[in-house]
């Protein structure tokens, strides 16, 4: 079982990229404490990484218009009660975390190894 401490952040958003590493949304998908990122967390990661909508879209492989940005990224960052809101897929979120250097490939591989041969 993984021994990484999980901190209750009381709904506050991280102030640095490093602060994302202790959030449930930064855990591997199979971890029992993993929670999908909120739209605010997606927005904060993009902002802290200094990425434009176009750059974030290019990093995760979704469409964008150099002049208008990315409707997909906008939907991932939209308020949950908005008609346009869409949950970010885990794979896109994990790529963003990797590109922002919040997590590493080794983190994910080690988590899978700890889960055992059933994976």
pLDDT tens digits for range 24-50: 999 988 888 899 999 999 999 999 999
Contacts of 29 (CB under 8 A, 6+ apart): 90, 94
Is residue 36 within 8 A of residue 24, CB to CB? The reply is: no
Of the pLDDT bands very low, low, confident and very high (cuts 50, 70, 90), residue 9 is very low
pLDDT of 110 reads 77
pLDDT at 11 over 80: no
Q: What is the pLDDT of residue 8?
A: 42
Average pLDDT value for residue range 87-92 = 96
**113 Cβ neighbours under 8 A, 6+ residues apart:** none
Q: What is the pTM of this model?
A: 0.82
CATH of the domain spanning 37-115, picked from 1.10.1060, 1.10.260, 1.10.533, 1.10.10: 1.10.260
């Amino acid at each position: 079982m993984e021994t990484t401490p999980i901190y209750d952040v009381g709904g506050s958003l991280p102030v640095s990229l490093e602060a994302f590493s202790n959030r449930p949304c930064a855990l591997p998908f199979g971890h029992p404490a993993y929670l999908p990122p909120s739209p605010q967390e997606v927005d904060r990661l993009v902002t802290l990484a200094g990425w434009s909508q176009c750059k974030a879209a290019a990093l995760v492989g979704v469409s964008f218009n150099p002049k208008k940005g990315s409707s997909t990224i906008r939907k991932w960052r939209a308020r949950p009660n908005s008609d346009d809101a869409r949950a970010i897929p885990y794979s896109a979120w994990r790529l963003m975390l990797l590109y922002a250097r919040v997590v590493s490939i080794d983190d994910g591989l080690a988590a899978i190894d700890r889960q055992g041969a059933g994976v």
